[in-house]
């Protein structure tokens, strides 16, 4: 019996994630992004208060709510599309999956969750940036272990 490798992408692969561990990662990552978004909306009174230069430019051009919303949407769309595609494409054997999912979790923990947690808490918690980012990373890793459970075998190899 011969198996054919079919690779076909449609728009649903870009925007509708498959309901698996990758979908849970999307929800977890965007929880941190939305925390930063809402804390900025609540505490930012003028665009010059925003530390992110690009977000500040959007906020100065379109006003705080619309500018911040556009910036967050544009800046995080590639993250969403990447994770959504991965939810359909990345189907690794268990041993390789542990390594790949661990790498993804650490990368997203530091570069996305940690940064957004640090940015969101910077409005009300006067701690060093590195401390806030490390705490955000640790929160993401703990939540990923509890919610995503990347190290549970899904099927036998």
Q: What is the pLDDT of residues 53-90, one digit of tens each?
A: 999 999 999 999 999 999 999 999 888 777 776 666 66
Which pLDDT does position 14 carry in this prediction? 60
Segment (H or E) for 79: helix 64-89
What's the pLDDT band for 136 if we cut at 50, 70, 90? Answer: very high
What's the pLDDT band for 25 if we cut at 50, 70, 90? Answer: confident
CA-based nearest residue to 40, from 25, 56, 27: 56
**pLDDT at residue 120 is higher than 90:** yes
Q: Specify the pTM.
A: 0.77
- The whole-angstrom separation of Cα 92 and Cα 126 is 42
């Amino acid at each position: 019996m011969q198996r054919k490798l079919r690779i076909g992408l449609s728009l649903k692969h870009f925007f509708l994630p498959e309901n698996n561990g990758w979908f849970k990662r999307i929800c977890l990552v965007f929880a941190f992004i939305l925390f930063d978004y809402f804390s900025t909306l609540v505490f930012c009174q003028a665009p010059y208060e925003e530390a992110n230069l690009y977000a500040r430019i959007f906020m100065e051009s379109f006003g705080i709510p619309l500018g911040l919303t556009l910036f967050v949407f544009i800046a995080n769309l590639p993250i969403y599309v990447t994770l959504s595609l991965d939810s359909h494409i990345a189907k690794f054997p268990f041993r390789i999956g542990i390594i790949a999912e661990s790498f993804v979790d650490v990368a997203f923990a530091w570069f996305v969750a940690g940064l957004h947690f640090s940015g969101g808490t910077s409005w009300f918690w006067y701690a060093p940036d590195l401390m806030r980012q490390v705490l955000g990373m640790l929160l993401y890793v703990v939540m990923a272990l509890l919610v995503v459970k990347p190290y549970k075998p899904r099927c036998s190899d």
